[in-house]
Structure 1
Amino acid sequence: MGVFVTGSSGFIGLAVCEALLARGESVVGYDLASPPPFAEAIFAGLPGRFEWIAGDARHEDALTEALAASGADRLLILAAVTADAQRERTAPRSVIDVNVGAVASAMTAAAAAGIRRIVYLGSGSAYGASGRDAAPLDEATTPLRPEGLYGISKQAGEAVALRLAEVCGLDLVVGRLGTCFGPWEYATSARDTPSPPFQVLRHAARGEEVVLPRAHPRDWFYGRDAAAAILALMDAPRLPRAVYNLSAGFIWSLTDFCRALAPRRPDVRWRLAEPSEGGNVDLYMAYDRAPMSNGRLCADTGFAPHYDLPAALDDYLAWLDAAGGHWLTRETAP
């Protein structure tokens, strides 16, 4: 009995593993990259048991063998490549191999191992151009209109997972994850798009002025809440739906973030860009996406977010102090 997590050394993978270990679960992490040393130290002090297996989620035979040997009865499919435009141009196959092919491998492995519950972590990017409208993005009614290869591949991965669950008789639930920030976010070879809040804090840690292209209001989802939402899907005995939005349910802007950060870090310098400037925080899109509705998630699982902006900032800054300033300023985590 336990939980098998693909993509366990990524941002959300680490957050989920920490949450599982904190409640005493046995966790097997499956990732090509080892957990950062700071994560290993934190995990060792938690009541659960953690084992990392070096493995490529794209390799079906190895994944099937590892999952069967683990004795896990639950599977979280978190492995993904979060691609920017540069990777789309130069290595599109690598994105599809992980975001679609590795999903098929994981579902096949789950069928062979008799896994009781599978959670596939999709993405709000699957909504794509529908986010240009003002209406909240809804699982049941909003069309999926992905714009970039990441969103396209995550929509495809979701469709593959749902189809294989149907034909193999597997208990699968999909969580479309909103835009996250918080503890454990760091630069990896599979993550090209660090969150704007992370970028703000990284500029500040380097002593650089933060120049925001625009205020950019969004339903930013704190990583600890995101992990709790994923576990809520994993834990629910029966769910009436196959797909759920995982989101905060409230909105604040990057200007709100910087204003809240200023009294906590008085040396931070920030401003909005002038019309002729582009800013030094990448927002990845020219519009402010509509929020993702989380009403069905809350109603069906009892999930409720615990971190508004002040609570998230207090927790995140304390975590960064414990992790060390180099967590933000290095290209990869120590």
Structure 2
Amino acid sequence: MAAVMVTGASGFVGLALAEHLLARGEHVVGYDLSPPPAQAARAFAALPGRLDAVVGDVRDEVRLARAMRMHRVDRLVMLAAITADAVRERSAPQAIFEVNVGGVLAALSAAAASHVQRAVLGSSGSVYGASGREAASLDELATPLQPEGLYGLSKQASEGAAQRLAALHGLDLVVGRLGTCFGPWEAATGVRDTLSAPFQVLQRARRGEAAVLPRDSRRDWLYVRDAATALAALLDRPAMPLPVYNLAAGFEWSMSQWCERVADWQPGFAWRMAGAHEQPNVSYYAPYDRAPMATGRLRADTGFVPRFDLDAAASDFRDWLRHPTESHA
């Protein structure tokens, strides 16, 4: 049975994608510096697919190629990344690019040597950067890429480098720019410096603390189960018409709406906007609300439609928190 390799498989989106693929009976080779969390391993064991976890550095082309050949990998999804904040940008700028760009090149070189047939690169809406301040929506083909931080710059570089290397080797590659994700399996892993605002709010609620928001941010939040479905849609359809697609929700909601949903199932939870001289305890990714990412091309070319609006996501996330070792994929 041929397999699909997922790099960064023990990360937030990687776990969600592995769960999705295992639920439909796939053989998944999860490649990561860390093995899957015990909670995920228990949940995944009940699924019909097969998971082989390989511990390794995504920059290690030799180890990647060995794992691909050993497990007969014919498809590859690249999700390994360092999602850096300003503190890490100052302290470890080289590492950000070594993983986010070098890791992609190593994985694609290994894939070319191992006769992998299809590759999907998980990129990020952060590549739009400053364009998100002004645009009505962010379009894959029309919106200028103006990344503002090293993470966004590294993702833009990884897209261009991956497309060049794929062309040199004749690899079938498509890029999926992920919107801002939240949902099951999110955790502090040491390589995601700012957790999603919905998760931060939930952490405060579960600790019996009030959430203090910087402002009532509005964004096209993407539930991670929909992110996994969208990535799988790109994986399943060879020779996509476009080289890059936005993987996003297509609708927006505010952080106050999320707080109201959390308050429904966390009795006593309180939240408020920060006062004039009050320090917020929930961090956003930027001091502005980024324009939504257009999803028309993804829908037209794959048929992908998100399953989880705000209420559906809140309900599913609540159920998962109550029974995390039971798969809900």
Written as runs of structure 1 = structure 2, the 5 A alignment for 1:1-334 is: 1-323=2-324
Identify which range, 260-269 or 8-17, moves more after superposition.
260-269
1:323, distance to aligned residue in structure 2 (A): 2.9
- Rounded to whole Å, the distance in 2 between the matches of 1:143 and 1:35 is 37
Give 5+ residue unaligned stretches, structure 1: 325-334
Instruction: Give the TM-score of the pair, scaled to structure 2.
Output: 0.97
Larger deviation: 38-47 or 67-76? 67-76
Deviates more, 1:260-269 or 1:23-32: 260-269
Deviations 1:142-181 (A, max 9, x none): 0000000000001101111111111111000000001000
In structure 1, distance between residues paired with 2:260 and 2:202: 13
1:93: Cα distance to partner? 1.1
Q: Which runs of 5+ in 2 are unaligned?
A: none
What is the one-letter code of the residue matched to 2:189?
A: T
Structure 1 counterpart of 2:124, one-letter code: S
Q: Which amino acid aligns with 1:3?
A: V
The DSSP-based 3-state class of the residue aligned with 1:229 is helix
- Give distance in 2, aligned partners of 1:237 and 1:323: 34
RMSD: 1.0
Matches of 1:317 and 1:276, distance apart in 2: 33
- Code of the aligned partner of 2:88: R
Question: Residues of 2 paired with 1:195 and 1:221: CA distance?
Answer: 11
How much has 1:63 moved relative to structure 2?
1.2
| Secondary structure at 2:265 match in 1 | coil
Q: Secondary structure at the match of 1:166?
A: helix
Q: Deviations along 1:4-40, whole A, 9 cap, x unmatched? A: 1110000000000000000000011011101110100
- Please tell me the residue identity of whatever aligns with 1:166: A
Q: Per-residue displacement from partner, 1:71-104 (whole Å, max 9, x unpaired)?
A: 0110001100111111101111111110000111
Aligned partners of 1:119, 1:93: CA distance in 2, in Å?
24
1:255 counterpart letter in structure 2: S
Q: Is the 2:215–2:273 contact (alpha carbons within 8 Å) kept by the matching residues of 1?
A: yes
Return the alpha-carbon distance in structure 1 between the equivalents of residues 81 and 264 of structure 2. Answer: 36
Retained in 1: the 8 A contact 2:118–2:238?
no
| 1:282 partner letter | S
Secondary structure of the residue aligned to 1:4 is strand
Return the alpha-carbon distance in structure 2 between the equivalents of residues 74 and 179 of structure 1: 25
Partner Cα distance (2:265, 2:312) in 1: 12
Q: 1:330 maps to what in 2?
A: none
In 2: Cα distance, 1:258 partner to 1:206 partner: 15
| CA apart distance, 1:277 | 2.0
Q: Could you tell me which amino acid in structure 2 is paired with residue 139 of structure 1?
A: E
Asked if structure 1 preserves the Cα contact closer than 8 Å seen for 2:43 and 2:324, the reply is no
User: By how many angstroms is 1:238 displaced?
Assistant: 3.2
Distance 1:122 1:57 in 2: 16
1:80/1:99 contact within 8 Å kept: yes
Q: CA deviation at 1:226?
A: 0.3
